[in-house]
Amino acid sequence: MDFAKLLVSTNRSDRSEFDTLVHRCHRQAYNVAYRLTGNHADAEDLTQESFLRAFRFFDRYNRDMPFENWLFRIMSRVFIDELRKKPKHRSQSLDQPITTGSGGEAEVQLEIPDFEGDPERIVLRAELDDYLQNALLALPEEFRIAVILADIEGLSYEEIAEAMTCSIGTVRSRLHRGRKLLRSKLGVGS
């Protein structure tokens, strides 16, 4: 009997389901990975490794849960595991002046758009994006994950608790502390 052939045929349906999920979720996964790591290369690696583990443990995936949420759970785990292996992540200090792409070395004033106005008309500049990204990178990992899942991905506390395998109370606390830290890094409302 050719067990290799048998395996190929039995895994084929899992594979095609998985491929569909990859097509559906990879952009969202990459976005979260980018916000977590702050650069393209690490974001790509994190996305790849998360999907790889998702496929390896696909039999444990409970279809009642959105695949994205399950993937974020894996990604959070991979992210923390990989961070602990690596030397301390180098991130740009918020105290350093930001350089603009076109304007040379000029220090960029952080402009907080007036969000009381029409949000559709607010254009976030690339510098502001970078500035926010650096503020995110300055957060402790667990706060960062919670804030990204809540405010960038729009997950509920219950979903974040599942993704981070912690209680809803812990999610609430991590988010609150994460936002307060971000606020002080960004100088919002001061």
Partner 1 sequence: MNCRQVNHLLSAYIDGELPGHDYRAVAKHLANCTDCHSEYHSLVQTKRLLTALRMKQPTGDLASAVIANVHQSGARVKSRQTWSSRGMIFSNMLQAGFLGAGVLFLAGVIYTQSNARQRGISIQWHSSTINNQDRLPDSPLAGQRAFTRVNFPGFGPQQSVSFTFINPVKSSNFASLPSMSQPVTLKPMGSHRTH
Q: State the residues that interact with partner 1 by CB under 8 A.
A: 1, 3-4, 6-7, 10-11, 14-15, 18-19, 22-23, 26-28, 30-31, 34-35, 40, 43-44, 47-48, 51-52, 55-60, 112-113, 115, 119, 122, 124, 129, 132, 136, 147-148, 150-152, 154, 156-157, 172, 175-176, 179-180, 182-183, 186, 188-190
Residues with Cβ within 8 Å of 97's Cβ and at least 6 positions away in sequence, in order, are: 105, 107, 108
**In the complex, least distance from residue 72 CB atom to partner 1, rounded to whole angstroms:** 15
* Shortest Å distance, C-beta 97 to partner 1: 20
Non-local (6+) Cβ contacts of 10 within 8 A are none
For partner 1, which is the closer residue by CB, 61 or 105? 61
CB of residue 77 vs partner 1: minimum separation in angstroms? 16
CB nearer to partner 1: pick between 87 and 137: 137
> Distance between CA 121 and CA 113 in Å, rounded?
10
CA-to-CA dists, residue 3 to 8, 9, 11, 135, 145, angstroms = 9, 10, 12, 52, 42
Question: Residue 45 CB, nearest distance to partner 1 (Å)?
Answer: 11
Instruction: Please identify, using beta-carbon distances, which residue of 100 and 151 lies nearer to partner 1.
Output: 151
Instruction: Name which of 18 and 142 has its Cβ closer to partner 1.
Output: 18
DSSP string, 30-91: HHHHHHHHSSHHHHHHHHHHHHHHHHHTGGG--TTS-HHHHHHHHHHHHHHHHHHHSSPPP-
Residue showing tokens 């952009």: 27
Shortest approach of partner 1 to residue 82 CB, angstroms? Answer: 16
Judged by beta carbon, residue 100 or residue 157, the one nearer partner 1 is 157
Distance CA 161, CA 144 (A): 14
